[in-house]
Chain A
Amino acid sequence: DAGVTQSPTHLIKTRGQQVTLRCSPISGHKSVSWYQQVLGQGPQFIFQYYEKEERGRGNFPDRFSARQFPNYSSELNVNALLLGDSALYLCASSSGRQGPYEQYFGPGTRLTVT
């Protein structure tokens, strides 16, 4: 079975632009979580979606939004990009919403804002 997939792998944008990142979870997984990882730090939670509904949100501005589709894939959108948005964006899928379900991470999208 394929693991979590993300696209694109790398992306370069300029300040003020908008970006859309995509994630496909492991087959059968209904939960998708998004994380931002800045170099030298651990991943920071952005959103969790389960059964197409937002189930959790981290401390990120409204410029960040996401959605989940009927096939459980997900998109993360970031508007009005800032230099500080440069990071590795990770998507993680799990089979459940609550409980100590193991999260499987995708390879990430490396976003560079210039």
Chain B
Amino acid sequence: GQNIDQPTEMTATEGAIVQINCTYQTSGFNGLFWYQQHAGEAPTFLSYNVLDGLEEKGRFSSFLSRSKGYSYLLLKELQMKDSASYLCAVRGYNTNAGKSTFGDGTTLTVKP
């Protein structure tokens, strides 16, 4: 099976940088995905990693270490609209290829 852990809540200041960590234990790995979810809305895709290292997409970057079962999402130049839940998800392999196992999300509050 798969187990995913991420902090429940984080608070940061507008304009700052915040790092949201995610650790996972999995019996099969085919990519780690980060989603943003505003209250009452569907998750929207932010970034994904298949290989170790850093992937950068504008203000968002994601890092993966498969050997450590660890990823983080880095948000730069925080804006008030970045206040949302951030979900870490691991994609399965073989018979679980279509299955993403999600963490419970990290609620980020950006303050002025």
A42 lies within 8 A of B42 (CB): no
Q: How many residues of B are in contact with the other chain, CB < 8 A? A: 29
Q: How many residues of A are in contact with the other chain, CB < 8 A? A: 28
**How distant is the Cα of A98 from the Cα of B4 in the complex, in angstroms?**
21
Q: CB-CB < 8 A to B31: which residues of A?
A: 99-100
Number of A-B contacts (CB under 8 A): 74
Mask, A22-57, CB within 8 Å of B = 1, is: 000000000101010000111111001010000110
**How distant is the Cα of A107 from the Cα of B50 in the complex, in angstroms?**
26
Q: How far is the CB of B59 from chain A (nearest CB, A)?
A: 19
A98 lies within 8 A of B41 (CB): no
B42 lies within 8 A of A90 (CB): yes
**How distant is the Cα of A103 from the Cα of B102 in the complex, in angstroms?**
13
A41 lies within 8 A of B100 (CB): no
Q: CB-CB < 8 A to B30: which residues of A?
A: 98-100
Q: CB-CB < 8 A to B100: which residues of A?
A: 33, 35, 43, 45, 92, 103
**How distant is the Cα of A55 from the Cα of B95 in the complex, in angstroms?**
7
Q: How far is the CB of A14 from chain B (nearest CB, A)?
A: 23
